[in-house]
A and B are shown apart, each in its own frame.
Chain A
């Protein structure tokens, strides 16, 4: 059965794929491919953030009344990652590979520890509290992620 946890976790992995693609292209000195892959990575991550902030988190907050709780921290981490994404983007655009690799490494760890909290803690909470709305919520998340 698809749960919020499994659905959103799969999307995390999809973003990881683009990240890996960009890094591999850099390893092969193929900057054009790396830029394109990073572009995909950035838009997938931003779409993921967006559907959480517009759909998943507000639904969770409305149901549980926890508006200053875990979702707030996740939003703050999204902001930190948006800044890192922008910085990495400008590094790769200007061809500053060393800077890009440093920022990408930082971004990867930031992203993975964030994913860990979502996958192990927040998504299971969502599945638990939103069990009645699950099909509707999943459908909306799916639609929003496809739109990107």
Chain B
């Protein structure tokens, strides 16, 4: 409840901003790595380059934005105030950026101590973040499906990080664990249990409220995060007990649940009452379509396991769900939240005496839509590169780097305009 007490308790802009500006740079690195490594990176999911690029995107980009945004929105959505948000942001940002970089380097160079240092650094950082969030959320009752979803997503975060650390130590020290099954489970917890549940919890709020669609049906909304978590626990049980059919069953049901959510969201968006299709909306549409395609692939590989042995199947699935799905959702929402935060902070800065420039003066939708075209082209090239890696792997890597460099540019320009507007307002305030 503290969160509502005053604006002074709201996190300063610097808290989430550092995450938002760093994230695209990690994606640029992933693109450059593909351009440099070329077709061999796409030969299999086990290539050092593929592992490095995947984690540059998931830890460096996705996790970065998700944690930065959580620090910002926990007070708004759940009324849960983090104590010392700027300090939390500084610590988590350094740990995450350092850990993400070391992890990628560790995969690429296959140096055990790098991998284990990265795992420890990421583990400690995220444990700290989890403790801070649990403290803030402990006294908050789950009065909405979003709050419940947020809490359950944190369980997913703990699981994906725990498994990730285990796997990093296994790679570093050659423990004899069932690597493939654990890597799948790690990805399942990361994409389904953490990113997936978090996305769904946020969608309950952002889709109806900002696109003016009908609300999500109440009962399924309450149950979806719980069901997803239970399915991941079943999957984990299947891996622990080596019960293959249980693993398959839970994967298949999780894919179906994901498809149901995406189709439902597409239908709700079809009923939206906003007249204009802005970049955020288009990014959502792209993300939902790509996610449905990816989850159908998952379903096919459950029903017909030989499919995942096909050349490029797993890499293609990964590109569709991560670049096509999550990166699209995240970038679309990132534009909106960044523009709104610049306005909100300028508004407060003006003390109701000097008006703040509207959001579109700080970050124009045209710029965002142009960048989105670059993202869509990069996605298409990446998918085509799965089929003809020799020709397209390097151009796809460059295109992906370019799209994310552009994202960085758009955000950096918004920050520059924000600073300029603030200086301008300071002058006017002084002259009053």
Contact = CB atoms under 8 A, between A and B. Distances in A.
B349 interface: no
Contact of B143 (A73, A109, A124): A124
A43 interface: no
A137 interface: no
Interface in A104-148: 105-106, 108-110, 112-113, 115-117, 120-122, 124-125
Nearest to A123: B143
Interface in A88-105: 98-99, 101-103, 105
Contacts of B212: 16, 19-20
A80 B79 contact: no
Interface in B130-176: 143-144, 146-147
Nearest to A86: B355
Nearest to A103: B358
B297 to A, nearest CB: 35
A70 B276 contact: no
A32 interface: no
Question: Would you call the interface of chain B mostly helix, strand, loop, or mixed?
Answer: helix
B209 A112 contact: yes
A64 to B, nearest CB: 11
A53 to B, nearest CB: 16
B1 A108 contact: no
Given A19-B212, A20-B212, A109-B210, A120 B359 contact: no
Contacts of A116: 76-77, 205, 209
Nearest to B5: A69
B1 A70 contact: yes
B359 A117 contact: no
Contacts of A103: 358
B431 interface: no
B77 A27 contact: no
A87 interface: yes
B340 interface: yes
A36 interface: no
A26 interface: yes
B17 to A, nearest CB: 17
Given A102-B361, A120-B143, A120-B147, A108 B210 contact: yes
A80 B355 CA distance: 10
A120 to B, nearest CB: 5
A26 B273 CA distance: 13
A91 to B, nearest CB: 9
Interface in A1-36: 16-17, 19-20, 23-24, 26-28
B69 to A, nearest CB: 13
A63 B248 CA distance: 56
B90 interface: no
13 contacts: A16-B273, A19-B212, A69-B4, A70-B1, A73-B5, A87-B358, A102-B360, A102-B361, A109-B210, A113-B76, A116-B205, A121-B4, A121-B79
Closest 7 CB pairs of A and B: A27-B275, A102-B360, A102-B358, A70-B4, A20-B273, A112-B209, A121-B79
Given A70-B1, A87-B355, A112-B210, 7 more contacts: A23-B274, A69-B1, A102-B360, A106-B358, A120-B144, A121-B1, A121-B143
